[in-house]
């Protein structure tokens, strides 16, 4: 069979396989398909903010977090009671004027302790997250950028710490150093065991960013490796790091409350939700509201940061965008 016969045979249309192609005159370019070439270029952060401000989950979580920050920074605006002033004469008294939550077993005003407990939980959560993100980003970015034996050594250290449960490790370290408790001691212990996940995320993001064209172009223009890392690679690797940092903040707030509940966290003289929950556990059947108020405050705070983390993840992850 000749080549012309083969071409003719390939052009034959079998029954049921006919296709209609409209002429170009009947399919003009629609306005929705046009591109405004004069519009300014948008960045990933601008697109993320455009997505966030239309996300109801982000709006609700941002309002809750803003309220919690105001309560933590200015507790005197919401109560004039001293959270450490306790008298047994009012032990387990019901709510009354000026004391909407009543009193605990020691006769402390529950409302003032819930308000002032926000400062402790928010301080530990924010400081621990900042320190964890800083340490994890430095270690992960160094391993991913330099590679070779540097990556091998740092990755093995990462694996060792990753095998240690953060709660168990924190309990062991805090039991070893039973000195005067402070917020910074809790924060440092959390950072000691919590940087692992951030380092893994940062390493993967840097490995992906350092092979992109902008890094090659910058190197060709004479930029040093360290300048490429700080000026180009790290800024383009921040999105997943910000997501894990936002999501982990609620985890560290819960961890502080857990350590205080177990008696190895902050001292009893420090007002914290975890400490109040620990004191109220024996009253669960007789006076459950003493346990209810700090537990609800803790749950709302953690829920707000988890919602914020999910919203930020949806905004910064291109695969999750629907528009």
CA distance 249 to 241: 12
Instruction: Check if the beta carbon of residue 151 is closer than 8 Å to that of residue 141.
Output: no
* pLDDT tens digit at each of 323 positions of the chain: 555 554 555 555 556 556 666 666 666 655 555 556 665 656 677 778 888 888 899 999 999 999 999 999 999 899 888 888 888 888 888 888 888 888 888 888 999 999 999 988 888 889 999 999 999 999 999 998 888 899 999 999 999 988 888 888 888 888 887 765 678 888 999 999 999 999 999 998 888 888 877 777 877 777 787 888 888 888 888 888 888 888 888 889 888 888 888 888 888 778 888 888 888 888 878 888 888 999 999 999 999 998 998 888 888 765 555 44
Q: What is the CATH number of domain 61-79+100-320?
A: 1.10.3720.10
Backbone phi, psi, residue 217, to 5°: -65, -40
SS3 letters for 221-259?
Answer: CCCCHHHHHHHHHCHHHHHHHHHHHHHHHHHHHHHHHHH
Domain ranges of the chain: 61-79+100-320
Q: What is the pTM of this model?
A: 0.78
Backbone phi, psi, residue 185, to 5°: -65, -40
Instruction: Check if the beta carbon of residue 122 is closer than 8 Å to that of residue 69.
Output: yes
Report residue 128 as tokens.
């621990």
Instruction: Check if the beta carbon of residue 123 is closer than 8 Å to that of residue 71.
Output: no
Closest CA to 271 of 117, 53, 93, 137: 117
CA distance 141 to 201: 9
CA distances 24 to 29, 33, 177, 214, Å, are: 10, 15, 79, 39
């Amino acid at each position: 069979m000749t080549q012309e016969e083969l071409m003719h045979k390939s052009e034959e249309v079998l029954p049921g396989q006919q296709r209609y192609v409209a002429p170009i005159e009947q399919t003009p370019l629609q306005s929705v398909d046009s591109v405004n070439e004069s519009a300014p270029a948008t960045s990933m952060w601008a697109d993320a903010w455009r997505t966030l401000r239309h996300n109801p989950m982000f709006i609700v979580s941002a309002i809750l977090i803003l309220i919690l920050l105001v309560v933590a920074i200015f507790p005197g605006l919401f109560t004039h009671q001293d959270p450490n002033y306790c008298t047994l004469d009012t032990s387990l008294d019901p709510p009354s004027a000026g004391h909407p939550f009543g009193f605990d077993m020691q006769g402390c005003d529950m409302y003032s302790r819930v308000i002032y407990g926000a400062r402790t939980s928010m301080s530990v959560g924010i400081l621990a997250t900042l320190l964890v993100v800083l340490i994890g980003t430095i270690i992960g970015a160094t391993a991913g950028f330099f590679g070779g034996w540097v990556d091998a050594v740092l990755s093995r250290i990462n694996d060792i710490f990753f095998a240690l449960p953060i709660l168990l490790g924190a309990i062991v370290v805090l039991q070893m150093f039973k000195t005067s408790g402070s917020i910074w001691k809790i924060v440092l212990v959390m950072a000691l065991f919590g940087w692992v996940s951030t380092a893994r995320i940062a390493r993967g993001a840097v490995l992906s960013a350092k092979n992109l064209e902008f890094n090659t172009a910058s190197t060709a223009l004479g930029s040093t490796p360290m300048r490429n890392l700080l000026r180009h690679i790290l800024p383009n690797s921040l999105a997943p790091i910000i997501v894990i940092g936002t999501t982990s903040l609620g985890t560290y707030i819960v961890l502080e409350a857990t350590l205080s509940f177990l008696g190895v966290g902050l001292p009893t003289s420090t007002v914290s939700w975890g400490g109040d929950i620990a004191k109220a556990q024996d009253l669960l059947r007789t006076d459950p509201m003493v346990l209810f108020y700090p537990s609800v405050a803790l749950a709302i705070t953690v829920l707000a940061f988890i919602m914020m983390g999910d919203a930020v993840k949806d905004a910064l992850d291109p695969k999750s965008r629907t528009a």
